[in-house]
């Protein structure tokens, strides 16, 4: 059920993009897949690097592995988010969650191990961990076209993208996320708050819904992306605790990992809601 839901949401969101946007998006995704394939190939070709990455994976708790995949998911979602709502991604909080070096190698290895286990559950059981490299290399070699995206059409690249997002969401949901709570309030990111514009009230008589006092004509107030306005001294303490508009619950970017995934996913659901 989750796989169908994830795929449906992304397809609906993609349907709102123009052909040039789809072309640019697939180019971006293809470049990402090529980069990941090169990293994985290098990892499997080096006994030392493979050993270090595997050791790092073994040292992580289940919760830490979940956060690693969640960061990977957020960086992947950002490719689609950039085209769907560019105004809210000019100063992206997910930039701090993009994986590099050891963390990227570890999450690619973790996902590959899970994929091989799902494809052939018995393939690794009879081998010691240090002998997994050969089995993984053979599996990657057999599926090289799929992993690298070589000669893929736009539709095939997007199908692969949906598969990767679905897989990461499934792992994040299934694996233990110790600090993730449904409906948990999270603060707006500092970058998002600093970027909020100050606008002059054009017409008096309108009240700030937080303090219930009038926003007088000519006064500078804060305007959120949803265009609701508030006194600066009222909205700042609010955004320190929560990233939602007091009027319409519009979500601002957040530095909270799971909160930002939920925010971007809510946008995808909303954008594609009118497709079916």
Say how far apart CA 225 and CA 227 lie, in whole Å: 5
* Cβ atoms of residues 185 and 238 within 8 Å: no
The pLDDT tens digits for 5-40 are 888 899 998 988 889 989 989 988 988 888 888 888
* Cβ atoms of residues 27 and 20 within 8 Å: no
The pLDDT tens digits for 159-168 are 889 989 998 9
Question: Per-residue pLDDT averaged across 202-230, rounded?
Answer: 91
Domains of the chain and any CATH numbers: 2-179+255-271 (no CATH), 190-241 (3.30.40.10)
Considering only 47-51, 150-154, 205-209, which range has the smallest mean pLDDT?
A: 150-154
* Cβ atoms of residues 269 and 83 within 8 Å: no
Percent of the chain with pLDDT over 90: 30
On the question of pLDDT at 179 being above 60, the answer is: no
The pLDDT tens digits for 53-93 are 999 999 998 888 989 999 999 988 888 888 887 554 444 44
Question: Per-residue pLDDT averaged across 183-193, rounded?
Answer: 87
On the question of pLDDT at 45 being above 80, the answer is: yes
The model carries a pTM of 0.81
Residue from 178, 169, 181 nearest 62 by CA: 178
Residue from 128, 113, 155 nearest 22 by CA: 155
The pLDDT tens digits for 242-271 are 999 999 999 999 989 898 898 888 888 888
């Amino acid at each position: 059920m989750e796989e169908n839901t994830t795929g449906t949401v992304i397809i609906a969101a993609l349907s709102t993009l123009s052909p040039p946007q789809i072309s640019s998006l697939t180019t971006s995704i293809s470049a990402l897949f090529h980069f990941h394939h090169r990293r994985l190939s290098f990892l499997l070709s080096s006994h030392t690097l493979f050993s270090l990455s595997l050791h790092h994976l073994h040292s992580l708790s289940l919760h830490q592995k979940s956060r690693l995949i969640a960061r990977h998911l957020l960086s992947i979602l950002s490719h689609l988010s950039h085209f769907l709502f560019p105004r809210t991604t000019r100063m992206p909080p997910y930039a701090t969650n993009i994986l590099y070096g050891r963390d990227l190698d570890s999450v690619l290895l973790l996902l590959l191990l899970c994929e091989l286990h799902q494809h052939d559950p018995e393939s690794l059981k009879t081998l010691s961990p240090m002998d997994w490299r050969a089995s993984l290399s053979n599996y990657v070699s057999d599926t090289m076209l799929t992993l690298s995206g070589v000669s893929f059409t736009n539709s095939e690249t997007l199908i692969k993208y949906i598969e990767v997002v679905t897989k990461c969401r499934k792992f994040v949901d299934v694996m233990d996320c110790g600090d993730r709570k449904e409906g948990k309030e999270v603060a707006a990111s500092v970058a998002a708050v600093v970027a909020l514009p100050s606008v002059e009230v054009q017409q008096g008589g309108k009240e700030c819904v937080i303090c219930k006092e009038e926003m007088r004509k000519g006064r500078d107030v804060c305007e959120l992306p949803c265009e609701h306005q508030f006194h600066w001294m009222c909205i700042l303490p609010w955004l320190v605790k929560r990233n939602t508009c007091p009027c319409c619950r519009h979500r601002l970017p957040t530095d909270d990992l799971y909160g930002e995934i939920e925010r971007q996913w809510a946008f995808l659901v909303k954008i594609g809601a009118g497709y079916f």
